[in-house]
Amino acid sequence: SQKIEQNSEALNIQEGKTATLTCNYTNYSPAYLQWYRQDPGRGPVFLLLIRENEKEKRKERLKVTFDTTLKQSLFHITASQPADSATYLCAPRKGGATNKLIFGTGTLLAVQP
Amino acid sequence: GAGVSQTPSNKVTEKGKYVELRCDPISGHTALYWYRQSLGQGPEFLIYFQGTGAADDSGLPNDRFFAVRPEGSVSTLKIQRTERGDSAVYLCASSLGFGTGELFFGEGSRLTVL
């Protein structure tokens, strides 16, 4: 069955450093992959989408990579700030007629001032 | 507001009771999704609608769970004979439809079964 794994332990980093979050998937060939942010007590919010033919995507301080050979996506936040503290969810998606979106377990990021 | 609206935000019920959770999606969004999220876990897919029809209900855990979207807009998730294990946050999301479209989530309905 399809499996999506994210860092199970919380990631603690110092303000100003780069945070790197990992998303690995198995039994899956996603056409693209989405990343979401979730704050406590709130619904997830879309951040970025990367397609299988794109190696890297950037948006302000965010960068996402997608390696279909390794079946892995990395999510980077540069110059991290305490306001970046949240849970980050990855969601590889098959695309096409199958529109179901399956989420990973999420990684909790804590940026210390 | 223009976002996805879910009601109630909190629901406490007793084991064995019937519960309805409502989702009002963003106007014009044809796709609607229901997820369930337990503490420390990612959202777990339940069902998604394209228009009025359930395009994929493979995530519904058993026949106590049922969802409808009769007019292709508002959706109701119905849970019969609730059990303590049903306690979770139920999230609704909508999107423009097929393709790579992002999901817009509501704030969720927190269900507690005593």
> Each residue of B21-66: pLDDT tens digit?
999 999 999 999 999 999 989 999 999 999 898 888 999 999 999 9
Give the closest-approach CA distance of B102 to chain A in angstroms: 6
**Residue B48 in tokens:** 């998604």
Look-up of token digits 């069955």:
A1
Confidence of residue B98 (pLDDT cuts 50, 70, 90): low
Report whether pLDDT(A95) > 90.
Answer: no
Q: What is the CATH number of the domain that holds A75?
A: 2.60.40.10
For chain A, how many structural domains are there in total?
A: 1
**Residue A80 in tokens:** 């991290």
Q: At B112, is the secondary structure helix, strand, or coil?
A: strand
φ, ψ of residue B103 in degrees (nearest 5): -95, 135
> Contact at 8 Å (CB) between B60 and B46?
yes
- CA gap B81, A25 in Å, rounded: 35
- CA gap A1, B90 in Å, rounded: 24
CATH 1.10.3210.10 assigned to domain B5-99+106-113? The reply is no
| Residues of A with Cβ-Cβ distance to B108 under 8 angstroms | 42-43
- CA gap A91, A69 in Å, rounded: 17
Residue B66 touches partner A, C-beta closer than 8 Å? no
Report whether pLDDT(A97) > 60.
Answer: no
> Contact at 8 Å (CB) between B78 and B18?
yes
